[in-house]
Amino acid sequence: MKKVVLIIALLAACSCSDFLEKTPANKFAADTFFKSETDLRLYANGLIDAALPGATDMALGEDRYTDLCMTKASKEFYWGSYSASKADNWTTSTWSFPRRVAYMLENMPRCKEDVPEEIYNHYEGVARFWRAWITVKRIKVFGDCYYIDKVIQPGDSVLLYSPRQDREYMFHRITEDLIFACENCLNDGFGINSDGRVYVNRYVALAYASRFFLYEGTYRKYHKTNPSTGKPWTGEYESSQELLLLAEKYAKELVDMGVFSLAPDYRSLFVQDKLKVSDAKLTCEVIWGRKYSEELSDKHGVTYKYCSTTSSLLYSPTKDYVRMFLKTDGTPAEEAVSVTKEFDGRDKRLSDSVLSPGRTMKKSDGSQPEMLPNWTWTCGGYEWIKWVQLEDVPMSGDNKSYNSVPIIRYAEVLLNYAEAAEELGHMDQALWDKTIGALRRRAGVKSIYPGEAGYVADKWLRNYYTKDVKHPVSLSDNMLEIRRERVTELMLEGQSRYDDLMRWCMGDLIERRYEHKGWRGIYITQEEATQGFVWGGTTYTVSKTKKSSETNYKITGYADGAWSLSEGNYGYLIYNYALVWDDTMYTHPIPQSALNVNPALGQNEGWQWY
């Protein structure tokens, strides 16, 4: 095995000694700590405090900047002017958490003789889970970077200036960590029935193993080269096929345990303060989560960010997102349908995620009026409500929301299982019914296995993923439906959609939204274009003369940040916003500040010329 080199050759702004001294791990003196199971638990809990994703990470994540979510202004990364000199994501904080994990793994053997073997192995599994978790997170950004398995010391001057490690080698080490965590983390007594749901246990390890192995297995399949180097994969370690087999194995293992099930109500998963519905063995679907509480004044600002004219980027669903949802009879929806009608007879998750006619909200005076669209909150006429608490208090200001946050759900494990099985040629109707079928039944949608009588192939969906894409690919009907289901089930949860586009080598979908013009929103019929449409007794219009307001979009043309109609005087509302995509962008650049300190890092392929 290759010798593992460590780094942290970090930044012009931070010396090596500063980095080594500032990590919180140094608050623990190894010679007096790590003496008991209590010490292991305390340190492991500190890792949770430091790294557990929160409301902003999950509800306001990278999915906002994809093909299926409009924003008033996108990230500079997609403007075509981003460069290594602008990058600042290689800082002390980038590498301090991996060092904290390494500190635990390096020092915990001190108590090995004094702790029961299964408890010791559990905590080693927890630490190795965190090492895999943070390393995958870094790989998604940089590609080749570092797998840190040793605490850097001030005297390690040679290691501090080493080159980056190869992605395939790094993921080989991640694979070892995940397998160890899956085999050694304990099930019971570590948070499965707690309302907080924050502890890393075997269920969490299995769920993330299914996610990470699927991610890297499909990444290697659909990307013909390592994006950090531009060179073909070496194949020295696990192959794409082997990683997909591991994804299928661990997803199946978790499903076969029978511990988790789908919650009966999709929307409640994202708007209530509880992460479980009962104390029974079947604890619904939140495998890992973060609790917030109105009673304890532990709150966040997610609702306000989606329901504000001034404090957000007017995030809004696109027509392409809405179009993904099937009708309840299991067939594809129509295209050109007025927003007042297109929620009728559709997958329930659509109206659970996007504001639809008839949805009520709770007022502080006890009344429950219909919630009306506010077009100063959205770029395209649709409004997100997936994470929105429909009450006037959370909407009225920042840090007033108290809904708890699912971090990873059983539903995703079902989707990972289905996709890995389809990639491997193992899908059949029984497995389909257990995974995709289960999700559709919860959503009130008839599940029809592709090829079965009554199945209607969706030409629009096939064109979306195969027509004019930069890297053409052949996709089965099964795979297209699985990709549909990932959108309708997981969109806006962290960076689910973003990760899917990256691993499928379909980042260009971010650029080529609606013929490269921008995002398309609601459909305005010819009659609605002249007379408006009525929603809850309020008339909504588009106009070339009236100013944009809560009930009107001003149609001004094709400049960035302007609205137009696809057919000139009617049609889809287009928010014109040009974005740029280049395959270089499958990695971020290594910041110039880091290269100035350590030229041996090297630049990711393509970014040398930006």
Alpha-carbon distances of 4 from 157, 178, 301, 350, 502, rounded to whole Å:
15, 18, 42, 48, 27
User: 374: burial class by Cβ within 10 Å (0-12, 13-18, 19+)?
Assistant: middle
DSSP state of 342: T
Q: What is the pLDDT of residues 321-376, one digit of tens each?
A: 999 999 999 999 999 999 999 999 999 999 999 999 999 999 999 999 999 999 99
| Residue 104 confidence (pLDDT) | 97
pLDDT at 10 exceeding the cut of 50: no
| Residue 21 confidence (pLDDT) | 38
Return the residue matching tokens 């890995």: 420
Work out the pLDDT band at 609, boundaries 50, 70, 90.
confident
Work out the pLDDT band at 157, boundaries 50, 70, 90.
low
pLDDT at 9 exceeding the cut of 90: no
| Residue 154 confidence (pLDDT) | 57
| Residue 610 confidence (pLDDT) | 81
Give me the number of domains the chain comprises.
Answer: 1
- Please report whether residue 367 resides in a domain: no
Cα–Cα distance, 306 to 376 (Å, whole number): 11
State which residues form the domain around 99.
1-72+85-185+592-610
- Please report whether residue 109 resides in a domain: yes
If you count them, how many residues does the chain have?
A: 610
Q: What is the pLDDT of residues 529-578, one digit of tens each?
A: 999 999 999 999 999 999 999 999 999 988 999 999 999 999 999 999 99
| Residue 172 confidence (pLDDT) | 98
> Per the structure block, which two tokens stand in for 439?
């999700």
Are 358 and 348 within 8 A, CB to CB? no
Of 3-7, 385-389, 402-406, minimum mean pLDDT range: 3-7
Of 28-32, 263-267, 349-353, 457-461, minimum mean pLDDT range: 28-32
- Please report whether residue 598 resides in a domain: yes
| Residue 152 confidence (pLDDT) | 74
Calculate what percentage of the chain has a pLDDT beyond 90: 83
Work out the pLDDT band at 92, boundaries 50, 70, 90.
confident
Q: What is the pLDDT of residues 163-175, one digit of tens each?
A: 999 999 999 999 9
pLDDT at 20 exceeding the cut of 70: no
- Please report whether residue 346 resides in a domain: no
DSSP string, 2-53: PPPP------TTS-HHHHHHHSGGGGS-TTTSS-SHHHHHHHHHHHHHHH--
| Mean pLDDT along residues 374-396 | 96
| Residue 14 confidence (pLDDT) | 37
We report the CATH number of the domain holding residue 601 as 1.25.40.390
DSSP string, 370-402: BPPP-TTS-SSS--B-TT---BHHHHTSTT-B-
Work out the pLDDT band at 78, boundaries 50, 70, 90.
very high
| Mean pLDDT along residues 383-409 | 95
- Please report whether residue 586 resides in a domain: no
Of 90-99, 136-145, 450-459, 471-480, minimum mean pLDDT range: 90-99
- Please report whether residue 210 resides in a domain: no
Cα–Cα distance, 574 to 520 (Å, whole number): 4
Alpha-carbon distances of 391 from 269, 382, 403, 499, rounded to whole Å:
16, 19, 12, 32
| Residue 290 confidence (pLDDT) | 93
| Mean pLDDT along residues 255-263 | 94
pLDDT at 29 exceeding the cut of 80: no
pLDDT at 4 exceeding the cut of 80: no
- Please report whether residue 459 resides in a domain: no
pLDDT at 13 exceeding the cut of 70: no
pLDDT at 24 exceeding the cut of 80: no
Average pLDDT score over the chain: 91
Work out the pLDDT band at 194, boundaries 50, 70, 90.
low
Higher per-residue pLDDT: 311 or 377: 377
Q: What is the pLDDT of residues 502-518, one digit of tens each?
A: 999 999 999 999 888 89
- Please report whether residue 134 resides in a domain: yes
| Residue 310 confidence (pLDDT) | 87
| Mean pLDDT along residues 65-70 | 96
One-letter amino acid at 404 equals S
